[in-house]
A and B are shown apart, each in its own frame.
Chain A
Amino acid sequence: MERTISFTLNGSPARVRVDDERMLLWVLRSDLGLTGAKFGCGEGLCGACTVIVDKQAVRSCSTPVKDVAGKQVLTIEGLGQNGLHALQQAFLSHHAFQCGYCTPGMIMNAYALLLKTPRPTEEEIARHMEDNLCRCGSHVRVLTAIQEAAGGGKGGAL
């Protein structure tokens, strides 16, 4: 059904008049011009499209936009609004990416973990990140970066 959906996007009010069954990913990317969240699989299997809705990580490719009405949506663009977030800084200094395509989804999913569990163990991190796919094989560094951002880390890669 076409209707106006209002929500908070990266701290600012957003209103879109759309078919409310459309998936959030496409509304973000196409209607609102925020291309940080990526398309990878379209079925919630890879995590490249991960954004935060009311402090929970969601797969925006499989989240109808009607589900975010009245809620707080945070994307990678919003995370770094006031300087790099600790996660972004740690991903940067550890080079916890190669092609970078899965990176926004990785960082947003890690952000959701740290909201819930500020000092996760390595095992908790790996379990939480399990369904975020990375084809370049940056997994080892992603784990290290998240640990560091959580305050338990080692130094940077260099």
Chain B
Amino acid sequence: MTAADGNLSRRAFLAAGTGLFVFFGVDRVNAYQEPARLPQRVNMSSDLNAYLHIAADGRVTCFSGKVELGQGVTTALAQLLAEELDVDYASVDVVLSDTDRCPYDMGTFGSMSMPMFGPALRGAAAEARAVLLAMAAERLDAPAARLRAKSGVITDPDAPGKQIAYAQLVEGKRIERHLANVPLKPVVQFTIAAHPAARKDALDKVTGKGKFAADFSFPGLLHGRIVRPPAHGAKLLSADTSAAETFGARVVRQGNLVAVLHERPDLADRALSMVKAQFEPAPAGVNDKTIFDHLLKTAPPARPAGGSGDLAAGEKESAAIVEATYLNSYVAHAPIETHSATATIEDGKATVWVSTQAPFMVRGQVAQALGFPQQNVRVIAPYVGGGFGGKTAGPQAVEAAVLAKATGKPVQVVWNRAEEFFFDTFRPAAVVKIRAGISGTGRIALWDFNVVGAGEREANPFYEIPNKRALSAGGWQGGNPPGMHPFEVGAWRAPSVNTNSFARESHMDMLAAKAGIDPLEFRLNHLSDARMRRVLEAAARQFGWKAAKGPSGRGVGVACGIYSNARSAAMAEVSVDPGTGRVQVKRMVSALDVGWAVNPDGMRQQMEGSLTMGLGYTLSEEVRFQDGDVLDRNFGSYELPRFSWLPKIETVIVDNPGVPALGGGEPPIITVGAVVANAVYDATGARVYQLPMTPERVLAALRNKGNG
């Protein structure tokens, strides 16, 4: 989006009516950051990205382009706003992810809502509070500095009984302000933020009243089903739709798109099953077993991802060398809500309700597909049934909108589970090779890390190692040579970092065992990062970690990592069935430093959720495929974590008010692969180098014990 477009959209969203409006842009975030480095990630629009409004009825509304995916952003934003503005949490409404009502936002991912948006919202609320205090000073005839604000009412402590509510101050007026440099409250004074809050979306979700994209309906609504190829790369030759038409379905053909539509969703499915489609077969290609060699062969030249010192010197200082190759498979996002969209077109204006993490991006895609100017497309992301990085685009919105235009009717497109797997942007399969050396005194002298396929984030270790290098070739962000990854790959909860942390932390454990040092102590010996030391120590206290060199036979493990400036450590206890190879994780402790948590209970939800979800990529989840066909198409073969898998989960939030509030949706998941692998090693002496650690792979590792 250009700056001019941004200004246009801003003009368009400026709400009419009275009240106090404060406009602010997230690019102003730097002015409000507490001292710490900002994560490098997103090019924010320079437009004013959001506003807050205080109405004459006392309701306070924050408008933001962020999306509620379940991560609790609605609640956290309301807390920050209530805190800085000194109003009751219950009086705050949060309007999210509606391109007509909310200002531009690039998307909801990367744990960025809190660090990037939070401080700007706080600043705007502080600005509004200052404006209201100045107005109250005039009305109450008292110096602003003397006045106190609480629960939306301003009082004069020196003149009991003299008070005025925010609502009275703004009544009948229209006041506009832009965010200026107003001091923020210190976190230690907070009474609403940094405290647990009741989720704003709770009632909607426990009653079933909360609407998701497929829950919108309109008179005449048609359900669209699209003829899909049997494999990636298969080209449609012909489609005989006559039986579907006889059945009563409408048919739309547009270029390569062949769709059947029916007013009942299940009958649209039936109509689709009647279509006889011929495809040119997909070319023979790789499968889930040959993929790793294929990645090594097709990867682009490796690029440096950090390092220091001299590898040759490191070789010389090393008394022992440990080398290993770590693998992980493609993993699906598998949100329980599949990609869904409901589109209407009326008087040349399209409105699409869509399950997406990036409604403004989808607006552009829909506008282009329809040939409409952007202002004639409204995209709304209602409640979204899980994203995890898999809903950063919205192809189903384009499909619904195109079919609505073609039929002149409202159209809903809901992918079935097979489509969800087939068109997912998987977490990439990857190969990590590490060559590391250890000195006679148990110091790491050499670290050479080479990742192919996953991406460079956190490839360079945070440990103190004099001679280290990280190289990365290809990744989740695109730009890979054609055919390297046989399907679309993309961000999957903490992209790159699950892969790189699994390899690094597994290898740290191998080095610790080689040196005969307790794996926690070995890590601390190589850590100067005070925040990382603290989360490790906090996890150890909670876990009751007892130092021992591995493998100790107890089945305990440790791992740690960094994501988006958050520090995350985990400890786990497992049991391994030597007969079946089945791993049961009995207990997990997660310790997390996200600066300060806006909603500590929400943070714990994210930690529990991350650990539980992480068990999937660790133990069972891998996408099987052959020649462009995705063989796992439903939950019968692609196994998500279940109730019986649950370990006892304990979460420790390590408060660090000197660091800005960071997002917590991703950091806790990055340690799960390694902490379980390390605990399996501690239990059995067998190292599993490949995720997921299926029973077969664990059995193979048990058989190979001692050979590697």
- Which positions in A face B, CB cutoff 8 Å? 19, 22-23, 25-26, 29-31, 33, 35-43, 45-46, 48, 75-77, 80, 84, 88-89, 91-92, 95, 97-104, 107, 125-127, 129-143, 157-158
Bound-complex Cα distance A30 to B70 (A): 25
In the complex, what residues of A have CB within 8 A of residue B214's CB?
Answer: 35, 39
Contacts of B337 in A (CB 8 A): 38, 40, 99, 101
Q: Report which of B215, B334, B335, B649 forms a contact with A35, defined as CB distance below 8 A.
A: B215
- 1/0 per residue B376-406: CB within 8 Å of A? 0000000111101000000000000000000
Q: Is the CB of A46 within 8 A of B336?
A: yes
In the complex, what residues of A have CB within 8 A of residue B69's CB? Answer: 98-99
Give me 12 A-to-B residue pairs in the complex whose CB atoms sit less than 8 angstroms apart, sorted by A's number.
A22-B264, A36-B208, A36-B209, A43-B636, A45-B635, A80-B206, A84-B206, A84-B207, A91-B206, A129-B643, A137-B608, A158-B196
- The answer to the question of B416 belonging to the interface, with a C-beta cut-off of 8 Å to chain A, is yes
Q: Is B644 an interface residue (CB 8 A)?
A: yes
Decide yes or no: A35 and B208 within 8 Å by CB, A45-B634, A136-B386, A136-B609 being known contacts.
Answer: yes
Closest 3 CB pairs of A and B: A36-B208, A99-B70, A101-B385
Complex contact B386–A140 (CB within 8 A)? no
Select B71's contact among A98, A104, A133, beta carbons within 8 Å. Answer: A98
- Give the chain B neighbours of A26 by CB distance below 8 A: 264-266
Q: A29-B265, A45-B635 are in contact. Are A76 and B207 (CB under 8 A)?
A: yes
The answer for the CA separation of A26 and B204 in the assembled complex, in Å, is 21
In the bound complex, residues from chain A placing their C-beta under 8 Å from that of B211 are 35
Instruction: Indicate which residue in B209, B335, B608 contacts A135 across the interface (CB closer than 8 Å).
Output: B335
Q: Is the CB of B644 within 8 A of A127?
A: yes
- Docked Cα-Cα span, A41 to B264, in Å, equals 17
Whether the pair A158, B212 counts as a contact (CB closer than 8 A) is no
- B208 A77 Cβ-Cβ under 8 A: yes
Q: With A22-B266, A40-B417, A95-B601 as given contacts, are A101 and B335 in contact (CB-CB < 8 Å)?
A: yes
Question: Do B71 and A126 touch across chains, with their CB atoms under 8 A apart?
Answer: no
**Complexed CA–CA distance, A157 and B602 (Å):** 10
Min CB distance A138 to B, Å, is 6
What 11 new A-B contacts, CB under 8 Å, besides A22-B264, A35-B217, A99-B383?
Answer: A25-B266, A29-B265, A30-B263, A39-B414, A40-B417, A43-B634, A77-B207, A88-B206, A104-B208, A141-B605, A157-B196
Nearest B residue (CB) for A43: B634
What residue in chain B is nearest A48 (Cβ atoms)? B336
Q: Which residue of the partner chain, among A30, A95, A125, A140, contacts B612 with CB atoms under 8 Å? A: A140
* B135 interfacial by beta-carbon distance below 8 Å: no
- Which of these, A22, A75, A107, A134, contacts B206 with CB under 8 Å? A107
Neighbouring B residues of A157 by C-beta, 8 Å: 196, 601
Nearest-Cβ distance from residue B200 to partner chain A, whole angstroms: 11
Residues of chain B from 235 to 273 with CB closer than 8 A to chain A in the complex: 263-267
What's the least CB distance linking A79 to chain B, in Å?
8
A99 touches B636 (CB 8 A): no
In residues 334-366 of chain B, which contact A (Cβ within 8 Å)?
334-338
B residues less than 8 Å from A41 (CB atoms): 417, 634-635
Task: Report B-chain residues with C-beta under 8 Å of the C-beta of A77.
Answer: 207-208
Cross-interface CB contact of B207 among A40, A88, A139, cutoff 8 Å: A88
- Residues of chain A within 8 A (CB-CB) of B388 are 135
Complex: A37 Cα to B171 Cα, angstroms:
43
CB under 8 Å from chain A, chain B span 267-293 = 267
In the bound complex, what is the Cα–Cα distance between A49 and B203 (angstroms)?
A: 19
Tell me the minimal C-beta distance from B74 to chain A in angstroms.
11
Question: Residue of A at shortest CB range from B199?
Answer: A95
A97 to chain B, nearest CB (A): 5
Measured CB to CB, the nearest residue on chain B to A76 is B208
Known: A95-B601, A135-B388. A100 touches B642 (CB 8 A): no
Interface centre among A29, A102, A140 (most CB of B within 10 A): A140
Looking across the interface, which residue of chain A has its beta carbon closest to that of B636? A45
A133-B635 contact given A26-B265, A139-B612, CB 8 Å threshold: yes
Expressed in whole angstroms, the minimum distance between the Cβ of A33 and any Cβ of chain B is 7
A95 to B265, CA, bound (A): 32
Residues of A within 8 A of B119 (CB): none
B700 interface residue, CB < 8 Å from A? no
Interface residues of B in 579-601 (CB under 8 A from A): 601
Nearest Cβ distance between residue B322 and chain A, in whole angstroms? 33
CA distance A140 to B489 in the complex (A): 30
Most-contacted residue by chain B among A37, A38, A143 (CB, 10 A): A38
Min CB gap A83→B, angstroms: 11
Nearest Cβ in chain A — how far from B60, in angstroms? 22
- Measured between alpha carbons, how far is A126 from B334 in the docked complex, in Å? 22
Q: Tell me whether A30 and B417 are in contact in the complex, defined as CB-CB below 8 angstroms, given that A41-B634, A95-B202, A136-B386 are known contacts.
A: no
A60 to chain B, nearest CB (A): 11
Q: Which of B295-337 contact A (CB under 8 A)?
A: 334-337
A133 vs B210: C-alpha distance in the bound complex, in angstroms?
19
Query: How far is it, in angstroms, between the C-alpha of A45 and the C-alpha of B384 when the chains are bound?
Result: 21
Q: Tell me if B608 and A101 are in contact (CB < 8 A).
A: no
B40 → chain A closest CB, angstroms: 28
Partner of A137, one of B198, B215, B417, B612: B612
**Chain B CB within 10 Å, residue with most, of A38, A125, A136, A139:** A136
* Interface membership of B140, Cβ < 8 A: no
Q: Using CB atoms, name the residue of chain A closest to B610.
A: A137
A39 touching B338, Cβ below 8 Å: yes
What are the residues of chain B within 8 A of A84 when measuring CB–CB? 206-207
Counting chain A CB atoms within 10 Å of each CB, the highest count among B202, B336, B384 belongs to B336
B646 at the interface (CB under 8 A from A): yes
Partner of B204, one of A19, A100, A130: A100
- Give Cα distance in the complex from A139 to B647, angstroms: 10
**Closest A residue, CB atoms, query B635:** A45
Q: Within 8 Å CB of A45, what residues of B?
A: 634-636
Q: How far apart are B244's CB and chain A's nearest CB, in angstroms?
A: 16
- Interface status of B519 (Cβ within 8 A of chain A): no
Cβ of B611 within 8 Å of any chain A Cβ, yes or no, is yes
Give the chain B neighbours of A43 by CB distance below 8 A.
417, 634-636
Interface centre among B205, B264, B388, by most A CB within 10 Å? B205
B636 touches A140 (CB 8 A): no
Across the interface, do A98 and B336 meet the contact criterion of CB distance under 8 Å? no
CA distance A79 to B358 in the complex (A): 34
B613 at the interface (CB under 8 A from A): yes
CB <8 Å contact, B206 and A103: yes
Assuming the A-B contacts A29-B265, A35-B215, A92-B203, are A135 and B336 also in contact, with contact meaning beta carbons closer than 8 angstroms in the complex?
yes
Known pairs A22-B267, A141-B608; A92 contacts B206 (CB<8 A) = yes
Would you give the shortest CB distance from A19 to chain B, in whole angstroms?
A: 8
| B640 touches A (CB below 8 Å) | yes
A7 to B214, CA, bound (A): 25
Contact B611 A137 (CB under 8 A): yes
Q: Is the CB of B644 within 8 A of A137?
A: no
In the complex, which residues 57-116 of chain B have their Cβ closer than 8 Å to any Cβ of chain A? 69-72
Which residues of A lie under 8 Å from residue B384 when comparing CB positions?
99
Most buried by B among A33, A40, A137, A158: A137
**Considering only CB atoms, which chain B residue lies closest to A87 in the complex?**
B206
